[in-house]
Amino acid sequence: MSALLIMVFAFAGYIVMYQLYGKYIGRRIFNLRADAKTPAVELEDGVDYVPTKKEVIFGHHFTSIAGTGPIVGPAIAVIWGWVPAMLWVFLGSIIMGAVHDFGALIISMRNQGKSLSEFTAKYINNRTKIFFFAIVFLELWIVIAIFGLVIAIIFHMFPASVFPVWLEIPIAVTLGYMVYRKGKSIMSWSIYAIIAMYVTVVMGYFIPLKMPAILGIPPTGVWTIVLLIYAFIASVLPVTTLLQPRDFINSHELIIAMALLVLGVVFSAFAGRLGIVAPAVHFNPAQAPPMWPFLFITIACGAISGFHSLVSSGTSSKQVRSEQDALFVGYGSMLMEGALATLVIIAVAAGIGMGYTTKGGALLTGTAAWTTHYASWAAAKGLGSKITAFVVGSANMMSMLGIPKGICLVIMGVFVASFAGTTLDTATRVQRYVVAELAHDLRLDVLANKYTATFIAVASALALAFITGASGKGALTLWPLFGAVNQTLAALALIVATLYLQRKGGLKWLVAGLPALFMSFMTIWALVINQTKFLNSHNLLLEVINILILVIAVWILVEGVIKFFARFGAASQQPHPAAV
């Protein structure tokens, strides 16, 4: 099958399934109501709870859940072949990921915008709430530290992206000021903002900025410190000052970048330059773990990701102004991410074959380009390697539109860095909510202050980043755990959604229940395999943390099953209405 047909069929499928399955779930399963008062309206405070137009909150939500997730996952998982990667992205995003994201969003909205950890106690019990807090904190701890490093790596690899990424901040603040303070049209001013953004992209090509080592700290370490300081500032500002306008700009940037990629696929295909060079299926890549279950762990964002439930129940649920907007924001954003992951698969399975320069300077094309980059799991699994495969493959296709390849590389570098920055912002803000909620529960209100809670979030991530030295790469120590932690969280969120829907009666719970069973099985399987690997390598740190995650996953699964059947049994003992 050609890359062009893959794209056309996938995009058409996403549109059809949004209209059929998505709207069915919204109307018949979650019973969305136009007259329901949302937390954004009921608890409006101008800082975190802000009623927002669905187009704007869509931009925030999508750019927050996307980050580099739908890039790095598919870019490595294609080592098992493009067919399994594409099938999991397409089916997973429709049946599991979108249900997971939308479910977490609407349940949080019906619980005063509280986080997943908070309303877990309501639907399961208080014991599980503590376990949820532990795994959520661990997830966000790794995300904040690793995404700071991701952006640092991008800045180091693509120095032309530095200038436009930082100039986006004053552009976003200006947009927020004009829209929220001056009452100007958000559409008109967002167009001005995105034009200014792309002017800085061209400028960045001519003025690449390289960070020097400072006080013995390598460039990646310096950037990590700077980015985490920025994350602190961004996460305590009102969402209308920076978060919303920046994310709205990024959503426009996404549309433009995806449009360029789509046109690049079309032009490259019709020019006869775009052929799939990756194998359809490759069961035994060198040094790679087994496809089952690790395909479903490696591709998270783009199919289903537990981090999305934290965004849904952390920031987005506090900004959606109408329940009926939640379908577009929650379900629609996940399908958009699936579309992005589809383009990533095409870029790394086909686009890379149009031209790939090795470290030795040799220019390879066709199958040779792909097999060189994906020679083994070790060769392809690094963060830099994943990003390079996508950026190079995308730039190859976009250059067919007549855009200089150097500019294409800057566009894609800025695209990846901007989205990673949005995820960093949101993860820090959500971690602040998590710390504050836990502090309230423990009656330590001094730690619930937004500045104190944010400091804890940033300082703990900074400690992790520098635990192995000045490079800022300490989060890579726990990176082998991230996929399993993330997908464990997805399974647990689906368990909560299942119990929530069970209360609604009938068989509505199956919509979340079947995905919950699948993801629970896959993640526990992966955690067991990882535990064996860590034991064999005598890695005590990973052994201890992995076994804790495994215990938490099994514990909450068992608690959920007990709660499900207890409620199911209680319901079956109720007399039928006709017999009363």
pLDDT in tens, the chain (580 residues): 589 999 999 999 999 999 999 999 999 999 999 999 999 999 999 888 999 989 889 988 988 888 777 888 898 899 999 999 999 999 999 999 999 999 999 999 999 998 888 888 888 888 888 888 888 888 899 889 888 888 888 898 889 999 999 999 999 999 999 988 888 888 889 889 999 999 999 999 999 999 999 989 999 999 999 999 999 999 899 888 888 888 888 888 888 888 999 999 999 999 888 889 999 999 888 888 899 999 999 999 899 999 999 999 988 999 999 999 999 999 999 999 999 999 999 998 999 889 887 777 788 888 998 888 887 676 555 556 667 778 888 888 999 999 998 898 888 888 888 878 888 888 899 899 889 888 888 888 888 889 999 999 999 999 999 998 898 888 888 877 888 889 999 999 999 999 999 998 889 999 999 999 999 999 999 999 999 999 998 888 889 989 989 998 899 899 999 999 987 666 555 544 443 3
- Residue 495 inside a domain? The answer is yes
- Residue 298 inside a domain? The answer is no
- Residue 523 inside a domain? The answer is yes
Q: What share of the chain is helix, strand, coil (3-state, %, to 5)?
A: 75, 0, 20
pTM, 2 dp: 0.90
- Residue 244 inside a domain? The answer is no
- Residue 3 inside a domain? The answer is no
- The 3-state DSSP class for residue 207 equals coil
Q: Specify the residue for token string 């589809």.
A: 342
d(CA 432, CA 449): 9
- Residue 507 inside a domain? The answer is yes
Minimal CA–CA distance to 40: which of 324, 312, 330, 321? Answer: 321
- Residue 395 inside a domain? The answer is no
Q: Secondary structure of 211-276 in the HEC alphabet?
A: CCCECCECHHHHHHHHHHHHHHHHHHCCCCCCHHHHHHHHHHHHHHHHHHHHHHHHHHHHCCCCCC
Q: How many domains does the chain have?
A: 1
d(CA 270, CA 4): 9
Query: Any bridge partners for residue 214, and if so which?
Result: 217
Q: Which helix (H) or strand (E) holds 46?
A: none
Tokens of 500: 């929530």
- The 3-state DSSP class for residue 2 equals coil
Query: For residue 208, how far is the Cα from the chain centroid?
Result: 28
Specify the DSSP class assigned to residue 53. -
d(CA 559, CA 554): 9
Q: Residues for the chain: how many in total? A: 580
What is the domain extent for residue 511?
Answer: 483-568
Phi, psi of 44 (to 5 degrees): -50, 125
CB atoms within 10 A of CB 169: 16
**Residues 6+ positions from 478 with CB-CB distance below 8 Å:** 142, 464, 541, 542, 545
Question: 186, 438 in Cβ contact below 8 A?
Answer: no
- Residue 17 inside a domain? The answer is no
- The 3-state DSSP class for residue 12 equals helix
d(CA 70, CA 239): 25
- The 3-state DSSP class for residue 102 equals helix
Tokens of 3: 């890359």
